[in-house]
Amino acid sequence: MSANRKKLMLPAAMSSAGWDVAEARDDIETVRFDDLTPEAEFRAMLADADAILLWGRPFPAADIAAAPLLKAVARIGVGYDAVDVAALSARNIPLLIAGTANSMTVAEHAIYFMMHLAKRGFDQHAFVRDGKWREKFNAPIVDLYGKTVLIIGFGKIGTRVAARLEAMEMTVLVHDPYVAPDAIRARGAIPAPDLDAALARADFVTIHCPKTPGTVGLINAARLACMKKTAFLINTARGGIVDEPALCAALMSGALAGAGLDVFVHEPIEAENRLPHLPNVITAPHMAGVTLESKDRMGVTAVRNALSVLDGRPNAENVINKDVLG
């Protein structure tokens, strides 16, 4: 590699739009890696890397230590629980996320889950496909109109979910201890500081908070017991925020009407996980934020984030560990 060129490691799965932005720069050498690249080979690649973009691969402290020249890490997405942020901060390396590049995509998917569950999509399709037309009233469907939804987490995604559901004439409650009540009201929603009380009111609960030590197990057996038997739970945030065994028990016992799950504690899920096999559950393989359009937006944003640091003008809005910016 030329001494004047900086090495940018890019995942093979990144969209061509992102690659185009990186490869248009004469001062950047792009190096392709795969999420399944063996650890030793991956760390050898890191030895002279100036920046890296991450898709699905974790980035622990040992990987960071293998990259002495590293100046920037950018996620092609918004979650970063698999990245050792403390290890990056210790070396003043910024971690950047894709901002709002897939916020609307996740918001749409959460609402898709809600609609599918409310309208009993699998059942209705099966009645037509299997010639069971007369059984259509055996699977009653419900409106979203007039119902109450609780949004847990009111950031880039939660605010978009709220706007869309308000347009569908739903009552929108918001639980987010980090957002001022007046800011929630300004967006037409109702602050719900008491999570247990809000869960008891909601017909739909949709989770959009980050996974932190404080949110792991946030929706546990006790909180599931607060919910209506007719309620639906949606999780497009991160696995582990919901207690999966407790959720499975509630769904099987009829204590909860249904769930839409894009994320799980173990991904891919373990063979014994019963949730995808329940008739009142719809799942996706951690794809709520991934569409053809969002992949392009995330790839382009992530590349620009990394380049902003290498160019000496970090995109501070997308930096997670802002303390490293001085």
Known catalytic residues are 238, 267, 286
Nearest residue to 60 via CA among 49, 46, 48, 50: 46
C-alpha to C-alpha distance for 249 and 20, rounded to whole angstroms? 48
Contact 76, 298 (CB under 8 A): yes
* Lookup result for tokens 């939660």: 158
Q: State the burial class of residue 147 (Cβ atoms within 10 Å of its Cβ: 0-12, 13-18, 19+).
A: buried
The answer to whether the beta carbons of residues 318 and 132 sit under 8 Å apart is: no
CA 135 to chain centre: 37
Hunting for tokens 């794809």 — which residue is that? 287
Q: Residue 212 contacts by C-beta under 8 Å, 6 or more apart in sequence?
A: 81
